[in-house]
Chains A and B, each alone.
Chain A
Amino acid sequence: MNIYQRLTFVCLTALLTHACQPDRNNPGGTGLVYCVEGSPESFNPQLVTSGTTIDAISQHLYDRLLDINAQTGELLPALASSWQISSDGLSYRFQLRENVAFHHTDYFKPSRPLNAEDVVFTFNRILLPEHPFHQTATEYPYFDSMEWRQLVAEVKAISAYEVEFRLNKPDSSFLSTLATDFAAVLSAEYGAKLQAENKLPDLDHLPVGTGPFLFRHYQKDVLIRYYRHPQHWRQGSNLQQLVIDIVPDSTKRVAKLLTHECDVAPIPRLAELQLLSKRQDFVVDVQTSMNVGYWAFNTQKPPLNNVKVRQALALAVNKQNILQAVYFGQAEQADSLLPPNSWAYQKPQLTQSYDPQKARALLAEAGFAKGFSLDIWAMPVQRLYNPNALKMAELMQADLARIGVKARIVSYEWNTFRRKLTQAEHDSVLIGWSADNADPDNFLRPLLSCAAAVSGSNRANWCDEHFDALLQQAVNTADLNERRSFYLQAQQYQAQQMPLMPIAHSKRFQVRSSNISGVAINPYGGVNFAMAGKH
């Protein structure tokens, strides 16, 4: 062997032996890979509602004025160190934490820490049409659905570290709203810089926040790269790097978990859980989540505008069957829109159960003894609250056939599907909702209020004055017992009117390698890696 041959040989053996060992060394200290199902729509939580986007951006890049304790639902100080509410419930004052640093990135070098100006900038963007950034977004879906512009009169800075929100009417869910992942605080200085450079849209694409990680790089449908924010006001993360790996295919996500290419992944496909829970090197985290999967009837379309027809349809569906076949037993049967862990939930005395005979009788009363035909729209994507809408629709089709209702299953590509839903082209739809905060208002108002029927998130297209009045009375009072009684009435009324049939509250699952700790899954949405570590 001459020297070159020997050298090649040595190199090749080194390469092959090295290549065959799983190399778990992390470059540049420690890094974590979180595998998600889709690309974010924007890097500003103000502009989105999709859970996928919130998971990928919100808790990592931004902080909020308040945080929610995931266990108790109690509000905790975050960027606001303390707050006072005036006795009439119309004014909220927040004292801000000092020395909170914004991200230092390639595209923006902050010159000052967070102050009241930033909070005013952030919330005025949603409120004031003359705000320089208001027009860069077509809508602020979460804030629109809770009628932010009707609710908030003004946001103003009292001093450098004190902000006041003045409301038009009392709203006891207001603090919860400020604690949601959507109420992220942006930098006014960055806004001014973008305005000067005439690059307004960058505010939502190249994010600057105060959160535990700062933005580095995004490649659509491939990955998002975050680095640790070294001056984070909390102690800062143990991770040097956080990569959000975008893997739309759930089978591939499981494969990547098995090969440790992913450290943490949410798993909406329950069938795969059993495989993973058997392995020693994975931990499955379970969290009862604030969500509901439901079947909404378009109450504007005959015959669904008839209450008896809606009641009959709800009685005809065997929910237990669906829980077994679609949720694999990993969900609770829903008998209200509110999940049992909500404080305003009370088990109804009369739970409506599967009763095809009664259903047929009700149909006959309504004048449809021979049945009718109905479209069931099944959403084409998997969500926690409904992991397989098509399968669910097929099961329901069989159930409905027993009372003489001929169901046709309809599905479109997801964007088209949502657009057509908003235009209320459907008869009935299988869809769901994940709450953003612990407040019961967050379930009832976006799903069934008249305002939501206009903005489009009320899939039942149901506008009922009595129901709306109950919701309004509930937020007008600060007394918790009184609020609860209003919500109980609202739930009973809803169960009787049946604009939609709640099906299940799914549990939230997350799989992580057993060497990862400190990943918090929040029942109200986003996942937080600030305290995560790898060992």
Chain B
Amino acid sequence: MILHYLFRRLFLLAFVFVALTVFAFSLSYLFPGDVLSNFTGLRNISPADEVMLTRQLGLDQNYLQQYLLFVQRLLQGDWALSFSSQQNVLTEMLLVMPATLELAAYALFLSLLVGIPLGIVAAVRKDKWLDKLISSLALIGFSVPIFWWALLLIMVFSLSLGWLPTSGRLGVLYEIPTVTGFMLPDILLSEQSYRQQAFIDAIRHMLLPSVVLATYPTTVMIRFTRDSMLDVLEQNYIKTARAKGLTRLQVLYTHGLRNALLPVTRQVGLQFSTLITLAMITEVIFSWPGIGRWLIDSIYQRNFPAIQGGVLLVSSLVILVNMLTEIMHTLFNPLARKF
């Protein structure tokens, strides 16, 4: 039964990937400029190379053959070269990806840490002043444009008060060798004498971007937790538990929370795509060297192979994460297991 379900999901996943790669493949034809350049990332191809590459990429064959060769190259990691640096686009992206994932992880963590308790408090104190306060804050956070919010925080905390740096992941004078690509673990792994200072400096750097990026998901968490909690509190089993003589806190903890948080976990996966989009804006504002900034720079530079690769990788990641959370949600939630 469960295998059947997983198989169905995987089939869907495969189908989506095919659609994605077809789209990415067609971009090479849709982008302006030379098709061969768009496919390989090479510039100023000599006539001799042109003949060889055309044969190698199958450009003299029909579209289906070309597409199959394209997918084959993707799977082998043999992606196009970036116009600006002449390096494999995939290698470049794998270098900047950890920075984005790190930022997104901190922001997500922050939004869970703040959003869920506030949501619960708002639900328990429904229609009291505390609920109204939290809900209006959530509404403001939900509607505020993220770039404006980011600039506001920079103005206050960096420019006026001078407490926090405005850009980057770490003060540039600290030299930390890249091992995992994630800053905090890398600092702990390094053997520099200024490790501790560097760690604190890294946290100071990540504070503002994380807060900015966490704002939107936090408000979503608050609203979602509140609604889901209210739903659960209406249920008969809660009333029964109260009637049995359990205290409010006990009911909340043992019966309410576990049931209310289930839909919330699903929300985490759904928020991932929004998070990545918002991360791009955050990265540009805070000069955070992640995939978002990389992709936006590529767009400015008309770096077509990079745009193509970036779109493919980011959307694959978003779909994969969505699919995984959905599968996990199904496995954990008996009600959703409609195999």
Contact = CB atoms under 8 A, between A and B. Distances in A.
A245 B287 CA distance: 12
Nearest to A18: B200
B289 A261 contact: no
Task: Name the prevailing secondary structure of the B interface residues.
Answer: loop
A223 B204 contact: no
B172 A15 contact: no
Interface string B140-177: 00000000000000100011001111111001111100
Interface in A200-252: 216-217, 220-223, 225, 241, 243, 245, 247, 252
Nearest to B92: A220
Contacts of B289: 222
A247 B162 contact: no
A247 B173 contact: no
Nearest to B154: A255
B198 interface: yes
Interface stretch (B28-36, B189-197, B315-323): B189-197
A511 B119 CA distance: 49
Contacts of B173: 26-28, 31, 33, 241, 243
B175 A22 contact: no
B203 interface: yes
Contacts of A225: 172, 175
A20 interface: yes
A25 interface: yes
B158 A19 contact: no
A247 B165 CA distance: 14
Given A247-B287, A259-B158, A25 B163 contact: no
Interface string A250-265: 0010011011110000
A197 interface: no
A247 B286 CA distance: 11
A23 interface: yes
Contact of B166 (A15, A26, A243, A256): A256
Contacts of B236: none
A19 B159 contact: no
Contact of A256 (B164, B167, B192, B203): B167
Given A18-B200, A23-B204, A225-B175, A252 B158 contact: no
Nearest to A225: B175
B165 A27 contact: no
B201 interface: yes
Contacts of B127: none
By size class, the interface of chain A is: 20 to 34
A252 B194 contact: no
A22 B302 CA distance: 39
B174 A27 contact: yes
A15 B200 contact: yes
A423 to B, nearest CB: 16
B12 to A, nearest CB: 38
Given A19-B207, A23-B204, A28 B159 contact: no
B194 A245 contact: no
Contact of A27 (B164, B167, B194, B297): B194
Contact of A20 (B159, B163, B165, B193): B163
A143 to B, nearest CB: 23
B85 A223 contact: no
B109 to A, nearest CB: 15
A241 B173 CA distance: 8
A150 B201 CA distance: 55
Contact of B159 (A221, A243, A255): A255
A245 B207 CA distance: 21
Interface string B93-123: 0000000000000000000000000000000
A366 B98 CA distance: 65
Nearest to A216: B175
Contacts of B297: 221
A27 B200 contact: no
A110 to B, nearest CB: 23
A415 to B, nearest CB: 9
A240 B37 CA distance: 44
Contact of B192 (A18, A25, A27): A27
B172 A33 contact: yes
Nearest to A260: B162
B203 A15 contact: yes
A23 B162 contact: no
Contacts of B192: 27-28
Nearest to B297: A221
Contacts of A261: 165-168, 171-172
B172 A27 contact: no
B203 A258 contact: no
B200 A223 contact: no
Interface in A24-67: 25-28, 31, 33
A35 to B, nearest CB: 9
Contact of A259 (B159, B172, B197, B203): B159
Given A217-B175, A222-B289, A245-B172, A19 B200 contact: yes
A19 B203 contact: yes
Contact of A252 (B85, B167, B203): B167
Contacts of B158: 255, 258-259
A220 B159 CA distance: 27
A261 B208 CA distance: 15
Nearest to B171: A261
A255 B289 CA distance: 18
Interface in A481-515: none
Given A15-B200, A28-B194, A259-B162, A220 B175 contact: no
Contacts of A28: 173, 192-194
Contacts of B198: 27
Given A28-B194, A252-B287, A255-B154, A22 B171 contact: no
Given A27-B197, A33-B172, A259 B166 contact: yes
A247 B194 CA distance: 25
Nearest to A26: B173
A504 to B, nearest CB: 30
A21 B174 CA distance: 18
A523 to B, nearest CB: 28
Contacts of B175: 27, 216-217, 225
Contacts of A222: 289
A241 B204 CA distance: 22
A223 B194 contact: no
Contacts of B172: 33, 223, 225, 243, 245, 261
Contacts of B159: 255, 258-259
A216 B177 CA distance: 12
B99 to A, nearest CB: 11
A252 B166 contact: yes
A22 B163 contact: yes
B166 A23 contact: no
A15 B207 CA distance: 12
28 contacts: A19-B200, A19-B207, A20-B163, A21-B163, A22-B162, A22-B163, A26-B173, A27-B175, A27-B194, A28-B192, A28-B194, A31-B173, A33-B172, A33-B173, A216-B175, A217-B175, A222-B289, A243-B173, A245-B172, A247-B167, A252-B166, A258-B158, A258-B162, A259-B158, A261-B165, A261-B171, A261-B172, A413-B302
Given A19-B203, A26-B173, A245-B172, 8 more contacts: A21-B163, A23-B200, A27-B197, A27-B198, A33-B172, A225-B175, A258-B158, A260-B162
Q: Which 9 A-B pairs have the closest CB atoms?
A: A27-B194, A31-B173, A243-B172, A255-B166, A259-B158, A19-B204, A20-B163, A245-B172, A27-B174
